[in-house]
Every structure is written in C-alpha cells, then in structure tokens.
C-alpha cells in the first residue's frame, strides 16, 4: 500500500549524525505506515553503507555526487511516494510525538500549505522563525501561545509540504541556488501565491545546526546572492529596489561599523547577483501575472526589531508600490 507520508533526509558526509537522526524518526509512533528516504549527495564518509547495513528499513537514494541542498531535495521528491512530504536535516533528533503532531496538524488545518516543526533549542519558547527587515530569516523575540503560529518563513531544516501544493508551485527549491536562501525563495513563493505557512507548537525536533560545517565566506556569498535573486524574481522592480537598498545598508553597516569579516562574503554575493539576475527575466515577468498577494503583504509582516529597522527600513518599505 502506498504510504501517505514520506520523510526525506538529505545527507552529505553526515555519518556522525545519522544514528540519532534515523533512530529518532523510525521510533515515531503513528497510526499508519510512513516511508523514510535517505537521499545521499555523494558522501565519502561511508554514510550509504552504514545506513544500508544498520537501517535496512530506510530507502537509500544514492545520487553519487553532490547536487547541493536545493537540487538534492528536489531529486528526493522524485523518489518519494507520499502526499505529505516532510524534509528533515541530517543533523537533527526528533522528540517523541514529533511526527504524529505534525501530521495531525496537516490533517486538521487544510488552510496551511506548509507546516514546520519547532527547532530546539533555538525555538524553545514557541518563538518562530520569520523574516526580518533585511529580508533574511530571524527568530522572533515574541513567545506565541497558539497551537499553530503563522509565519513568512519555513525553515528548510524541518518542514512538511503538501504534494498538491508543490505541484502548483512547479518545483520545491531553485536548483541554481545550490544551497542557502532556497527556503526563503520557497516561502515567499508560497506566500505570494496565496498560501500559508505555520509552525506547530507540539512538533519538536532538536537541530544541532551546520552539520556539514560550511566555509563562512562561501556560505555568506551564496546566502547574499540567492537572497537578492529571490526578491528580484518574485517582487516588482520598485519593491525589489527597496529590498536591495536595505540589504546593502545592512552589509555596509556590518562591514564598516561592526567589523564583521563575514560581511566580505555578503559583499561578494551582492556582486555575484549582478552576474546572474538576468537568468530570471522571463520567470519574473510570468510570476507577476500569477501572484495573488502584493509585496506589501510581506513588508507589513516583516519583523522590525532594531532601531535601524524601525526608524529607516520600515519607512522605506511603507512607501512601496
């Protein structure tokens, strides 16, 4: 019988994380069968052999080379059979009830197209991930009392998406991104096409973060380039210009006034954006014809937490059009 639920774990040299990750997922209690797929991005640390030998109930998809986080997960979708597609980072350990509560929320709240788990310890007090004024992800400082809390952003570390919504979106992640900011693009595409994203209070998973140990400069470079490409392809030209101005101000502030070396990677990412944005000209014109929400919907829901956010950036966005 075809499973209704597919749990997809993308792995790249994550052998040291897999025992906790897979064990915690396989022991989840659910009133129906679910499949677990390990999609391996060309690991060289014997991850594939380990899973095949120690977790025979896990279906291994061996990609044989590193396609990146974005395309690796896209390929995972092509092998999954479920209607609920649940994506989980390899550097995680699920709490008891994690899967049951996530699936129950999806069954009972059809108004949400994407549902996310609470990542411990960073979301301990039901503080959800969202997007702040620069357009990037941040944890809200506000504790939510809701069973499901709406958000602009679905963290790629652990989320459920309905297959029928994914078919409407046409693709999960933008494969050109390789990794970083691909979940921002998925989230904004969902929001602007009329969908809803929510965090499920009782679906909890431990996330140890940075299991693949990225190089800081390279990571910041891709994050910046891909974030700017996201707003370029999905927002109107005027509103993209506003996001761009805010982003550049933040990078300059980090580089000059706070002496953050990581800002050099962000600066390189901004330069890379100018060599790649033209690939989206046709897509952005098409997207403007199908989007169901205006960019202002996003601007009004940005998290404004700092003095610069409230005094300058909010003013920049308030005159959007």
- b/e burial code for range 149-159 (CB count within 10 A of at least 16 → b): bbbbbbbbbbb
Percent helix, strand, coil in the chain, to 5, is 45, 20, 35
Is the pLDDT score of 282 beyond 90? Answer: yes
Question: What distance in Å separates the CA atoms of residue 318 and residue 321, rounded to the nearest whole number?
Answer: 9
Please count the helices (runs of H) and the strands (runs of E) in the chain: 13, 11
Task: Give me the residue spans of the domains in the chain.
Answer: 5-207, 216-318
What confidence category does residue 264 fall into, taking pLDDT thresholds of 50, 70 and 90? confident
- What is the tens place of the pLDDT at every residue in 176-234? 999 999 999 999 999 999 999 999 999 999 999 755 445 688 899 999 999 999 999 99
Superfamily of domain 5-207: Spore Coat Polysaccharide Biosynthesis Protein SpsA; Chain A (3.90.550.10)
The Cα diameter of the chain in Å comes to 60
108: CB partners within 8 A, 6+ apart: none
Tell me, what's the pLDDT at 91?
95
């Amino acid at each position: 019988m075809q499973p209704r639920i597919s749990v997809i774990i993308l792995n790249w040299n994550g052998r040291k994380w897999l025992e906790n990750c897979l064990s915690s997922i396989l022991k989840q209690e659910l009133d129906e069968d679910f499949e677990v797929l390990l999609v391996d991005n060309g690991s060289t640390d014997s991850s594939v052999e380990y899973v095949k030998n120690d977790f025979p109930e896990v279906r291994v998809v061996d990609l044989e080379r590193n396609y990146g986080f974005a395309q690796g997960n896209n390929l995972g979708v092509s092998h999954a059979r479920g209607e609920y597609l649940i994506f989980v980072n390899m550097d995680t350990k699920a709490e008891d009830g994690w899967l049951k509560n996530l699936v129950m929320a999806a069954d009972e709240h059809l108004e949400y197209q994407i549902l996310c788990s609470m990542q411990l310890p960073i979301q301990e007090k039901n503080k959800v991930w969202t997007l702040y004024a620069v357009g990037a992800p941040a944890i809200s400082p506000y504790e939510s009392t809701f069973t499901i809390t709406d958000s602009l952003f679905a963290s790629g570390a652990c989320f459920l998406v309905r297959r029928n919504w994914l078919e409407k979106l046409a693709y999960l992640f933008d494969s050109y991104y390789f990794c970083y900011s691909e979940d921002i693009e998925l989230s904004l595409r969902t929001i602007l096409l009329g969908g809803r994203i929510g965090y499920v209070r009782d679906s909890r998973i431990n996330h140890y973060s940075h299991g693949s140990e990225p190089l800081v400069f390279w990571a910041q470079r891709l994050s910046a380039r891909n974030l700017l490409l996201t707003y370029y392809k999905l927002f109107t030209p005027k509103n993209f210009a506003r996001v761009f101005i805010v982003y550049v101000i933040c990078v300059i502030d980090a580089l000059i006034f706070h002496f953050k070396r990581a800002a050099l990677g962000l600066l390189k990412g901004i330069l890379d954006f100018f060599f790649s944005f033209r690939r989206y000209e046709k897509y952005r014109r098409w997207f403007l014809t199908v989007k169901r929400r205006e960019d202002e919907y996003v601007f009004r829901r940005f998290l404004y937490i700092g003095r610069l956010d409230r005094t300058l950036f909010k003013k920049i966005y308030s005159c959007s059009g």
